[in-house]
């Protein structure tokens, strides 16, 4: 066999090489493993510029759920699943006035909680979870919201995204909660591509500069909610339009004001 023939047999085709990442992801999924986070499609300097612009436009971004302490924050985030923040805030105004601690929530009871949050989607299941997590907080944590991920995720109705929000807002941890808005922004802009929320989260944790990590998830959620919208992104007022890898930029409507941050 000639050297050229041997080389051709040893060298995989381009199609075979391209298929490797897909096979790796499929194998990881079959084994129950999370797909590995991909690197950002932006350069390190571009990522730095993205967050510098967000910080200049909104130095202290805030979440839009109303709360008065870590417990009410936890409850509000649990209630916000498949619901709008505005809808949750309307329901929790009276709820938190009546019960702003786990002990008071348990005393209020599931029937009363269910009645007070009935305007929120999945309110029956959520009322059950609110009472169950309140009971768990009283029994296992002395009525305090734990500052550890594992303890938070052990509570009824609390998953990784909810734990990330509570850790970030209540305890100042540089976590990144990937909701549908942030997932879209990460993939659309090229900032952090991933097939799952966890993959996008891990990619962001790898590329977001440490100085901006504390507020990163708020900036990106607000960007997705008010600018980088799902059906018609308002690219003409996006502060990072020149860096974004999304090619099908939406043209501005007549008389539109450019570069108005978020709201």
Residue numbering of the annotated binding site for [4Fe-4S] cluster: 228, 235, 238, 244
Alpha helices for the chain (secondary structure H): 3-10, 14-30, 44-57, 70-79, 85-98, 102-108, 110-116, 123-141, 149-153, 160-171, 180-189, 197-207, 216-226
Active site residue 179: yes
- 3-class DSSP assignment, residue 36: coil
Residue among 229, 221, 235 at smallest CA distance from 182: 221
Distance CA 66, CA 85 (A): 8
Q: Which of 179, 229, 242, 249 is catalytic?
A: 179
Residue among 239, 253, 256, 246 at smallest CA distance from 57: 239
Q: What is the dihedral of CA 217, 221, 223, 229, to 10 degrees?
A: 150
Interhelix angle 160-171/216-226, nearest 10 degrees: 120
Q: Please, is 13 exposed, middle or buried when counting C-beta atoms within 10 Å of its C-beta (0-12, 13-18, 19+)?
A: exposed
Residues 127 and 114: beta-carbon distance below 8 Å: yes
Annotated binding site: 228, 235, 238, 244
Q: Which of 161, 229, 242, 249 is catalytic?
A: 161
State the catalytic residues: 161, 179
């Amino acid at each position: 066999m000639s050297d050229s023939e041997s080389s051709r047999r040893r060298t995989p085709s381009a199609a075979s090489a391209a298929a490797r990442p897909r096979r790796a992801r499929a194998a990881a999924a079959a084994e129950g493993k999370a797909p590995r986070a991909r690197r950002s499609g932006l350069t390190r300097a571009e990522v730095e510029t993205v967050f510098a612009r967000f910080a200049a436009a909104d130095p202290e971004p805030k979440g839009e759920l109303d709360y008065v302490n870590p417990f009410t924050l936890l409850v509000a985030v649990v209630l916000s699943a498949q619901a709008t923040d505005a809808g949750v805030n309307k329901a929790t105004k009276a709820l938190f006035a009546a019960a702003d601690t786990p002990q008071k929530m348990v005393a209020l009871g599931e029937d009363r909680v269910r009645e007070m949050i009935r305007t929120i989607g999945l309110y029956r299941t959520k009322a059950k979870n609110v009472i169950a997590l309140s009971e768990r907080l009283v029994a296992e944590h002395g009525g305090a919201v734990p500052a550890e991920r594992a303890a938070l995720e052990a509570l009824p109705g609390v998953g990784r995204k909810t734990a990330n929000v509570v850790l970030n807002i209540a305890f100042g941890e540089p976590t990144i909660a990937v909701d549908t808005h942030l997932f879209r922004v990460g993939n659309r802009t090229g900032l952090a591509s991933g097939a799952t929320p966890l993959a996008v989260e891990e990619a962001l944790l790898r590329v977001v500069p440490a100085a901006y990590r504390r507020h990163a998830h708020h900036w990106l959620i607000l960007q997705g909610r008010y600018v980088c919208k799902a059906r018609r992104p308002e690219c003409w007022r996006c502060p990072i339009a020149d860096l974004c890898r999304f090619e099908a930029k939406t043209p501005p409507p007549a008389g539109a004001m450019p570069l108005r941050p978020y709201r």
